[in-house]
Copies of this chain bind each other. A is one copy, B any other.
Amino acid sequence: MKNFTVKELLEKGKELNLQEVTVQGWVRSFRSNRFIAINDGSTIKNIQIVVDFEKLDAKILKKISTAASLKVKGEVVESQGAGQEIEIIAKEIEILGEANPDELQSTILQPKQHSLEKLREQAHLRFRTNTFSAIMRVRNSLMFGIHKYFNENGFVYINTPIITGSDAEGAGEMFSVTNFDLEKELPRTEEGKVDFSQDFFGKQTNLTVSGQLEGEVAAMGLGKIYTFGPTFRAENSNTARHLAEFWMIEPEMAFYNLDMNMDLAEDMLKYVIRYALDNCADDMQFLAERFDKEQTQKPQNERSELSLMERLDYVLNNKFVRLSYTEAIEILQKSKQNQKKKFQYPIEGWGTDLQSEHERYLVEKHFKTPVILFDYPAEIKAFYMRMNEDGKTVRAMDILFPGIGEIIGGSQREERLDVLDEKIEKFGIEKEELWWYRDTRKFGTVPHSGFGLGLERLVLFVTGMGNIRDVIPFPRTPKNAEF
């Protein structure tokens, strides 16, 4: 007799009619002392077990409660009831693990909107809820879709370092990594500074905020690479959009200019969203219903104009509008919104950084498609972006999505050593620190481009969830590193 997962059973359906099978899982519900709904995580759907309580040992019957785990042997039959094609007539039920209903708050397994927060504190039950398990399967599908896309397109997956001795990208927001015993006095140099030469790595080290610079180095030999790993921000932001630890995807391509970079980013986003929709249809249907229901409970003016599926179709079926920063400023300045002073941050003119309200105006009101903004003022972007002929803008791009704002940020990189050096100096970065990065511009430098995609932002968009903590298995946020 074969062991089946719930997913396999439901997919084979009537093929298995009258066969004996074994299935294991956790009880989702038990009603009328007769119908047990079992789930094993392989799908959002449950399999219905039908028991003849008169024949079943009373001691076992008593232990069949929500969250208990069972091993069931029985016969597959066509279901009499609505809602499922097949069910299993139990011949033998073994209780693998009980779940004392008094200890278990049953509400937790039927999460309503307000209990998502509580579930984050209950890791052991969180993975057993419909909502969170659906999110995790969709997240899995997006991650595999990303690997598949890059693999099919000739990219090499590169693991850039997590512990880094380089702090060129923004020292203030990095976590320190040390092997010093913090309870003891730290060793000091003669000048009274901490003597990191005595620490594990012989220098001060931090957790990476981005693998881009190292990714560029790899692309200068391997051609097309991508990173996919954890990155960190020690920002004290307790919002629904920030995590201290999150996963980032950063492709980097030799011989790519900014246009090719935009083409790749748009193509990849559409591919992976389509992949998740195709491979997680049941989960996405559940999440779409959840999202749409949630909207009806919001005040009219906070509701999404589009359903979740419409929002995804809107991204899949529209060519993203490509618009220079300069054109965007003109549109925003002339907008009624701006003229009626409805923006919290009025558009003062060329050079100001765009706020989320401006990005959303462009995407949701003006163009009603995703937008790629490019050629930003050099002052508001990073040192490594390629300077345009105008001497004041750089070849940066941001991809803006409805409801979520920036989902991708990227650029063509400055491949000319002299121009790069000017920028390094202007940004006050220590040139010696970046010797290995500068060396890629000394020996066979080539035009190249890349971008960064925050995984959790993408999962948030695809699942329609409101809080980024609900789309990652174990969120790290200020004052929270449980588990």
Contact = CB atoms under 8 A, between A and B. Distances in A.
Interface in A100-141: 100, 103-104, 122-129, 132-133, 136-137, 139-140
A388 interface: no
Contacts of A183: 193-194
A443 to B, nearest CB: 4
- The residue among A67, A179, A223 with the most chain B CB atoms within 10 A of its own CB is A223
Interface stretch (A13-21, A200-208, A300-308): A200-208
Nearest to A178: B176
Contact of A236 (B143, B200, B205, B440): B200
Interface residues on A, range: 35 or more
B163 A221 contact: no
Contacts of A1: none
A316 interface: no
A345 interface: no
A346 interface: no
A327 interface: no
Contacts of A483: 161, 164-166, 214, 217, 436
Contact of A222 (B96, B97, B127, B447): B127
Q: Which 5 A-B pairs have the closest CB atoms?
A: A127-B221, A41-B223, A97-B445, A41-B222, A128-B221
A314 interface: no
Interface in A40-89: 40-42, 67-69, 71
A123 B178 contact: no
A472 to B, nearest CB: 7
A158 B230 CA distance: 12
Nearest to A440: B124
22 contacts: A41-B224, A69-B445, A99-B442, A124-B217, A125-B439, A126-B221, A129-B221, A132-B221, A139-B157, A158-B473, A159-B472, A161-B483, A163-B207, A164-B481, A165-B482, A175-B179, A176-B180, A177-B207, A178-B178, A201-B481, A214-B473, A229-B229
Given A161-B481, A162-B245, A165-B483, A69 B234 contact: no
A364 interface: no
Interface string A187-209: 00000011000001111010100
Contact of A444 (B99, B151, B223): B99
Contacts of A255: 3, 24, 40, 71
A290 B1 CA distance: 50
Given A127-B220, A162-B207, 19 more contacts: A7-B154, A26-B444, A41-B222, A41-B254, A69-B446, A96-B445, A96-B446, A97-B443, A98-B444, A124-B436, A125-B221, A127-B217, A137-B222, A161-B245, A163-B175, A176-B179, A177-B177, A201-B481, A229-B229
A472 B390 CA distance: 41
A461 B306 CA distance: 52
A175 B157 CA distance: 26
B222 A136 contact: yes
Interface in A217-261: 217-224, 229-230, 232, 234, 236, 244-245, 247, 254-255
A69 to B, nearest CB: 4
A263 to B, nearest CB: 13
Interface string A1-31: 0010101000000000000000011110000
Interface of A: 3, 5, 7, 24-27, 40-42, 67-69, 71, 96-100, 103-104, 122-129, 132-133, 136-137, 139-140, 143-144, 147, 151, 154, 156-166, 175-180, 182-183, 186, 193-194, 200-203, 205, 207, 214, 217-224, 229-230, 232, 234, 236, 244-245, 247, 254-255, 415, 436, 439-447, 472-474, 476, 478-483
A100 B444 CA distance: 9
Contacts of A441: 97
B175 A123 contact: no
Nearest to A144: B151
Nearest to A3: B255
A7 B155 CA distance: 12
A429 to B, nearest CB: 15
A139 B158 CA distance: 9
A27 B214 CA distance: 22
Given A124-B439, A245-B161, A177 B176 contact: yes
Nearest to A23: B255
